[in-house]
Amino acid sequence: MSKAVLYDATLCVGCLECERACASYNGLEYDDAVSAEQQTSERKFTFVRTLPDDKYMRKLCMHCVDPSCASVCPVAALTKSKEGPVVYDKTRCMGCRYCMVACPFDVPKYQWGALLPLVRKCTMCSDRLKKGLATSCSDACPTGATITGDREALLAEAKKRIAENPSGYVNHIFGETEVGGTCVLMLSSIPFEQAGFRTPEVYGKGPLPANTWKALSKIPDVVSLGFVALGGIWWITNRRHEVAAAEHAAKKQSEEAAKPAGGES
């Protein structure tokens, strides 16, 4: 059973406790300057976006069910763990940054200033989850806006909240179907594209790695058919070539006065 995080923006009061807890769990510095930054970065894995009318929206790694970053990583440094989090093995990473290009939510960030630069992002506190604990942001949240649980249970909970208060929410659980589903689910009272997300078409409903797999899965055909086709063409054209050469030699012999054959240009 995959774990997930549910963030209900209508319960969020913008206290930034999640940011603080995230920084301390990940050993990142957190001061007023970092607190004011309205974007994720190598030193800030989650932030609370301040929107008009006292509204808020969190940004963090969505931990896709079928993550693009893990699919594109040539060395499997990013992997989807069975508990749900998408985790990063810094000893494998060669720094190609394909994960950053591929991520539909622009989550992975890079240590551009470092000589040994790592990809940094939210890990959904994977070692806490393994111990059966909630993520540190869930733990720190004083209003219950962010909670941790099983994905199925949280989806049901989100549906229940919308059903019980249809005027308080937009009728959409962000993360239920986006890019094939994510392990971070979000509820909001305003449309998600007004809360820092892109329009729904950008994400699509299916997992993005399927696009790549359609091409990659043809490789065995290209290799096997390619060898047969090219080998066959060579066999045929070379045979024609040999026949031409033999006929040529026979002709020469019959003429008897021919010069010896040579290969000069």
Partner 1 sequence: MTVPKVTFWRVVFVLVMLLGAYATVIRFTQGLGATTNLSDQFPWGIWIGFDVLCGVMLAAGGFTLMAAVHIFNAERFRPIVRPALLTAFLGYILVCVALMYDLGFPWRIWHPLVMWNPHSVMFEVGWCVTLYTTVLALEFSPLVFERLRLERPLKIIHTIQIPLVILGVILSTLHQSSLGSLYLIVPGKLHPLWYTSMLPVLFYVSAIAIGIAMTIFESAMSEKHLGHSLDKSIIVYLTRILLVILIFYGVLRFRDLYKRGALEYAFTGSYESILFLAEIAFSIVLPIALLLIPRIRLNPKALYFVATMIVIGFMINRLNIAITGMESYAGVRYFPKWTELSVTVAIVAAGFAIFGLAAKHLPIFEHGVAHEELKEVPAEAATVRKPYPAQV
* Interface residues toward partner 1, by CB under 8 A: 41-42, 68, 70-77, 92-98, 100-102, 104, 106, 109-110, 112-118, 198, 201-204, 208-209, 211-216, 219, 222-223, 226-227, 230-231, 233-234, 237-238, 240-241, 244-245, 248-249, 261-265
**What is the distance of C-alpha 261 from the center of its chain?**
63
Q: Decide whether 156 or 245 has the Cβ nearer to partner 1.
A: 245
User: Closest separation between CB of residue 193 and partner 1, Å?
Assistant: 13
Most distant CA atoms of the chain, gap in Å: 105
User: Closest separation between CB of residue 258 and partner 1, Å?
Assistant: 10
Q: Decide whether 33 or 222 has the Cβ nearer to partner 1.
A: 222
User: Closest separation between CB of residue 202 and partner 1, Å?
Assistant: 4
Of 133, 40, 44, 46, the C-alpha closest to 83 is 133
User: Closest separation between CB of residue 40 and partner 1, Å?
Assistant: 8
User: Closest separation between CB of residue 92 and partner 1, Å?
Assistant: 5
Sign of CA dihedral 82, 73, 198, 66: negative
Q: What is the DSSP string of 154-183?
A: HHHHHHHHHHH-TTTS-S--BTSSGGG-BS
User: Closest separation between CB of residue 83 and partner 1, Å?
Assistant: 20
Q: Decide whether 75 or 153 has the Cβ nearer to partner 1.
A: 75
Q: Decide whether 159 or 172 has the Cβ nearer to partner 1.
A: 172
Gap between the Cα atoms of 185 and 162, Å rounded: 13
Gap between the Cα atoms of 70 and 200, Å rounded: 22
Contact 52, 180 (CB under 8 A): no
Compute CA distances 10 → 145, 157, 158, whole Å. Answer: 8, 14, 12
Query: For residue 87, what are the β-bridge partners?
Result: 79
Q: Decide whether 102 or 154 has the Cβ nearer to partner 1.
A: 102
Q: Decide whether 45 or 169 has the Cβ nearer to partner 1.
A: 45
